[in-house]
Amino acid sequence: MDETGGAEPLMSIGAFARRVGLAPSALRFYDDCGMLHPARVDAGTGYRYYSAEQEPRAVLLRRLREAGMPLTGASAVLDGPREEARAVLEAHAARALDTAEAARAAVGEILCGLEGLEGTAATRAVVGGAELAGAVRQVAPSAASGPDREEFPALGRVLIELDGQEVRLAATDRYRLAVRTLRPLSLDGPRRRLLVGTGELTAAAAWAVRLPEVRIEADGRGARLLGGDRSLPLPASEEEFPDYRPVLDGLPAARHRIIADRSALRTALAEPGAADPVVLRVVLRTDGDRLTLAAPGREAAELPAVCTGPPLVIAFEVRTLLPAVDSAVGPDVLLEVSGPDAPVLVRSADQGSFTTLVMPVRQG
Q: Which pLDDT value is given to residue 305? A: 82
Of the pLDDT bands very low, low, confident and very high (cuts 50, 70, 90), residue 9 is confident
Which region among 20-29, 246-255, 281-290, 291-300 has the lowest average model confidence (pLDDT)? 281-290
Q: Which pLDDT value is given to residue 285? A: 44
Of the pLDDT bands very low, low, confident and very high (cuts 50, 70, 90), residue 41 is very high
Q: What is the DSSP string of 39-103?
A: SEE-TTT--EEE-GGGHHHHHHHHHHHHTT--HHHHHHHHHS-HHHHHHHHHHHHHHHHHHHHHH
**Better-scored residue on pLDDT, 296 or 340:** 340
Domains of the chain, each with CATH number or no CATH: 2-82 (1.10.1660.10), 119-243 (3.10.150.10), 251-358 (3.10.150.10)
* pLDDT tens digit sequence for 195-229: 999 999 999 999 999 999 999 998 877 889 998 88
Q: What is the edge-to-edge ordering of all strands in the sheet holding 186-188?
A: 186-188, 123-127, 214-219, 222-227, 230-233
* pLDDT tens digit sequence for 88-140: 999 999 888 888 877 777 776 666 555 444 455 789 999 999 999 999 999 99
Q: Which whole-number Å values give the CA distances from 238 to 24, 148, 201, in the listed order? A: 60, 18, 16
Q: Which pLDDT value is given to residue 113? A: 58
- Is pLDDT at 332 greater than 80 in this prediction? yes
Mean pLDDT of the chain: 83
Q: Which pLDDT value is given to residue 294? A: 78
- Is pLDDT at 172 greater than 50 in this prediction? yes
- Is pLDDT at 13 greater than 60 in this prediction? yes
Q: What is the mean predicted confidence (pLDDT) over 347-363?
A: 78
In this prediction the pTM is 0.63
Q: Which pLDDT value is given to residue 49? A: 95
Q: What is the mean predicted confidence (pLDDT) over 8-14?
A: 88
- Is pLDDT at 25 greater than 90 in this prediction? no
